[in-house]
Amino acid sequence: MKHRDDICRSCFALLICFLAFAAAVQAQDAYTRVELGLQYSTIELTSPSGGKQNSGFGGRFDWNFNRRLALESQIDFWPENYEPLLGVQGGQTLQAVFGIRAKVVQTRRFSVFGLVRPGLLHFTDVLDFQNPSGSSPVFFTRPETHFVLNLGGGVEFYLSPRWTLRADIEGDPYRVPNETVSFGSAGSEFLTGKINDTTRVSLGVSYRPGALIENERETNVDGKLELGPLFSTMLIEREGPTVGVQAEPGVGGYASYRIYHVFYLDGDLLYFPRGTANSGPHDGGTILQGTFGIKGGIRRNHFGFFGKVRPGFNSYSDALSSVSSQQGGITLSTSRATTFVLDLGGILEFYPAEHGTLRIEAGDTHLYFGSTTINIDGTTQPVPGYSLRHSIQFTVGYGWRFR
């Protein structure tokens, strides 16, 4: 798992570095509206001994708005019957995603692109159980579909004006929902969900039918400093025993400042007021999130596309800090707790006015919970941290650019 996440972070960093060449290369002369592709794909699924790569195949359809920006849909199927895990995966795997592909570097022979594609991840035989009489549980398998956010990028090589070879790699965080299991007369039990993660690699070929359209002349978009309000939704696994995965709505603002050609200092500050019904030692209550780092990409004509790598923090208002047993009950106390996060993903901008920016972000905010302590009846007890956790985050806002 750690090795896989290191690969994903390295790929995001490499994509950001490629952006530095965007202004210095000569592009293809033409494009077509439609692009059709076939690909061989691998996906990493969970096994008792660690991750395992499954092989599959699929197809792709693109509608090109211009030579850089396209709506892209892709379907992949992995036919191997994989080991079922409770509520998570099992059997054969099918993924369908639909979103944005944006080329940030393009020459006559190759291009480098980024992908932001939400969609669905389907398993045919996920493990489940039931216990209606309160006796021994009966296990069975069933189909299950999860929401997934496909984030990544890749490279295209142009064999001719119509034929293209393509290679890409993506992270695939997906939501495993909470579930309540009934035990009949014995009651029920709440099973918390999680944000799981996979890695995907694809190699393929595509063909461009239809008329070749000459590339429009590109112009840069002015603006060194940018500020604006934001609204965000974050799918995150909370620590409280009856909370699990929930959608956290939030509000805040962002700032962006160009430091060198295609690189910007960029940051968000967001407040998520929903809170939780109960807490854990690392997490509870409302969330204040701040991320600040680098976005790299291009601004051309009426749109811009960027990759982002932004470290920061999640600060929780009411993490569990002490448990006190007293006559008549137990008293719980909370305090603020802060953890390190790393925000990886993409930013798409549209420019409807001379100084206005419509900004859309999508990302996987990595959560790193360190060890902490909790006071139990006057005695300090250590609480270990967690391995890396993921969250899926969408953010939209409107900003103003200044010279």
223, 173: one domain: no
52, 155: one domain: yes
Please write the tens of the pLDDT for every residue from 105-122: 888 889 999 999 999 999
Higher pLDDT, 181 or 87: 87
Q: What is the mean pLDDT of residues 363-389?
A: 91
Separation between Cα atoms, residue 279 and residue 316, nearest integer Å: 10
Is the pLDDT at 7 greater than 70? The verdict is no
Separation between Cα atoms, residue 46 and residue 51, nearest integer Å: 5
Please write the tens of the pLDDT for every residue from 12-52: 554 445 444 443 444 567 889 999 999 999 999 876 656 67
The pLDDT score that the predictor gives to residue 136 is: 74
Q: Both tokens of residue 38?
A: 């076939």
The full 3-state SS of the chain, as one line of letters, equals CHHHHHHHHHHHHHHHHHHHHHHHCCCCCEECCEEEEEEEEEEEEEECCEEEEEEEEEEEEEEECCCCEEEEEEEEEEEEEEEEEECCEEEEEEEEEEEEEEEEEECCCEEEEEEEEEEEEEEEEEEEEECCCCCCCEEEEEEEEEEEEEEEEEEEEECCCCEEEEEEEEECCEEECCEEEECHHHCEEEECCEEECCEEEEEEEEECCCCCEECCCCCECCCCEEEEEEEEEEEEECCCCCCCEEEEEEEEEEEEEEEECCEEEEEEEEEECCCCCCCCCCCCCCEEEEEEEEEEEEEECCEEEEEEEEEEEEEEEEEEEEEEEECCEEEEEEEEEEEEEEEEEEEEEECCCCCEEEEEEEEEEEEECCCEEEEECCEEEEECCCCCECCEEEEEEEEEEEC
Please write the tens of the pLDDT for every residue from 349-362: 999 988 999 999 99
- Pairing type for strands 303-326 and 372-376 reads parallel
CATH at residue 396: 2.40.160.20
58, 70: one domain: yes
Phi, psi of 119 (to 5 degrees): 175, -150
Is the pLDDT at 238 greater than 50? The verdict is yes
Work out how many domains the chain is built from and give that number. 2
Binned at pLDDT 50, 70 and 90, residue 252 comes out as very high
Domain C-terminal end among 157, 187, 216: 216
128, 223: one domain: no
Sign of CA dihedral 4, 263, 313, 120: negative
Domain C-terminal end among 196, 216, 236: 216
271, 383: one domain: yes
Q: Of 208, 218, 248, nearest to 395 (Cα)? A: 248
- pTM comes to 0.88
Q: What is the mean pLDDT of residues 194-214?
A: 93
226, 373: one domain: yes
Higher pLDDT, 328 or 74: 74
174, 294: one domain: no
Q: What is the mean pLDDT of residues 372-393?
A: 91
Range(s) of the domain holding residue 5: 1-216
